[in-house]
Amino acid sequence: MASTAGSETRNRSTRRSRSAAALATALGVVATATACGGGSAADGTGGSTVVLAVAGDPGTLSPTTALASTALSMNSFAYDTLVHIEADGSVIPGVAEKWSATSTFAQFTIRPGVTCEDGSPLTADDVAAEYNHVADPKNQSPLLGLSVPVTAVAKADTASRTVTVTTTKPAPFIVEMTRLLPLLCKKSLAAPAALARATAASGPYRLTEAVPGDHYTYVKRDKYAWGPRGSTASALPGKIVFKVVANESTAANLLMAGQINAAVINGADQERLDAAGVKNESYEALFGQLLFNQAAGRPTADPAVRKALVSVLDLRQLANVATGGKGKPATGIGETAPTPCTGDTVTGNLPAHDTARAAAELTAAGWAKNGGTWTKDGRPLTIGLSHPTNQGPQVASAIELAVQHWASFGVKAAAKPTGSSSILSTLTGGDWDVAWAPIGVTLPDQLTQFFDGPPPPKGNNFGSIENPDYHRLATQASAELGVAGCALWEAADAALVEHVDIAPIVSRSIRYYGMGITYKVDGAGIIPSTLRRSAG
């Protein structure tokens, strides 16, 4: 019994860790850290300095345990990956020069000449060891299920430079998910916590100075020569300094003054940067989505209630308020570029804005309006709308608008603001009705933990969703490899929207404004291999 209890405790701890990682990814998209660049004038040799500021300290940088989106972005400069994903979702070689795969098997051939920063070779044995380290539940790595399949076992063949990964549970994006696995040499796995403020880099930069709360300095590895599409260190800036800059307006001021080169600006400061002609690179991310709690006893377990709540709202109006008019109607349920499946799974699948239809839905489900309030079995229809406060005052205004519309319709509704760090505990605790909870993942199968399977504490299905169509289609899609399953994944996503298990509302561009540098971005931030100093 003691052994079983201990195992269950470890499993719950692992699930909580993975939940935190998933939520950090999912909700971190809408709270992307400010990123700024600066330094000496461009010298055209790749020897200049660029300063990239982040809105908060990254916490641990240990690549097998790091959760914060800031840490993941910083680690992308220090650790390479087996493959890279292009903007259109296609896969290109990284440390793996070639591969073959099914949904339960992958074999990667490690290119020769790849080294860690101490000069030691990064071998197939190192990669296999990292796979097995992450896959071992006792290590409680949040990368399990995100970059490494939950049932993965890896074996290395030194002579052929191959790593063979097998899994008993289908992993349809077994190749694509490796873009989230930062590669380090095997010896570092003995004490991964030592990398909280250091690196065992396989990528283009190594960490040389760490001052938590202030700055982190990375220096280029001149012999780095295995980047995407054959990129090398030669054209990269010689030094990257990540500087903590907490205030977005301050970052915009520094950018306009020419003291930094880039900043992520999501708020009102966009207007003056646009007016000044400052260029930006951006990616689209889901910014607003309603998630409904369907646990027994919750009013939103009733599909008629969910449909009515959505029909009462003018979603376009809500989107405009939440984004200050800068958003777009959502077309997906959380897959952020680069992602292999890009179809529109939302348009036409949500109930239209129609209060008469909403009233008819409730009436047909046995609700009646008494004294201006919808009731059933003597109980009023009471809804709390939970939302994280870190999305800013515009989202808070949108929440209040939704509550007003529901109240005018006859729902006893109230806004339930939560701190950004407490939204996870709110969802896992179960005491909520509707939550403003946008999702941000890179692969469709990463969404299944949120919308299928057991609710907390045994799983991450926060809304206790039971959608047979989603389960069936996702199961079929999981048996297909990569893009071959996209049609099924998109049908599965659409089933969630049609059943009003979720209501995606609005997406918006996450903009990286820049001066004096050129770069490309994706959901992880600035793509290291594209960063260059430039004139102007």
Q: Which amino acid appears at position 499 of this protein? A: H
In this predicted structure, what is the pLDDT of residue 43?
35
The answer to whether the beta carbons of residues 364 and 356 sit under 8 Å apart is: no
Q: Please, what sign has the CA dihedral across residues 210, 215, 220, 224?
A: positive
Structure tokens at 415: 């806004």
Sign of CA dihedral 374, 379, 380, 384: negative
CATH code for the part of the protein at 81-181:
3.90.76.10
pLDDT value at position 39?
40
For residue 23, the model assigns a pLDDT of 52
> Which residue ranges make up each domain of the chain?
81-181, 286-508
> What was the pLDDT predicted at 258?
84
In the prediction, which pLDDT does 30 show? 34
The answer to whether the bond into 121 is cis (omega within 30° of 0) is no
Q: What is the pLDDT of residue 78?
A: 97
CA distance 330 to 353: 16
Under-50 pLDDT residues of the chain: 1-22, 24-46
Task: Write down the CATH number for the domain with range 286-508.
Answer: 3.10.105.10
Domains 81-181 and 286-508 share a fold: no
**Between vectors from CA 471 to CA 469 and to CA 477, what angle results, nearest 5°?**
100
Kindly give the residue spans of alpha helices, DSSP state H, lying in 59-184.
Answer: 69-78, 124-135
Query: Measured at the alpha carbon of residue 424, what is the angle toward residues 423 and 429, in degrees to the nearest 5?
Result: 100
What local confidence, expressed as pLDDT, does residue 161 receive?
Answer: 98
Q: Do residues 517 and 50 make contact, with C-beta atoms less than 8 angstroms apart? A: yes
Supply the DSSP symbol for 41.
P
Residue 309's alpha-carbon distances to 293, 354, 445, 463, in angstroms, are: 13, 10, 28, 16
For 170-189, the pLDDT digits (tens) are 999 999 999 999 999 899 99
- Predicted TM-score (pTM) of this structure: 0.87
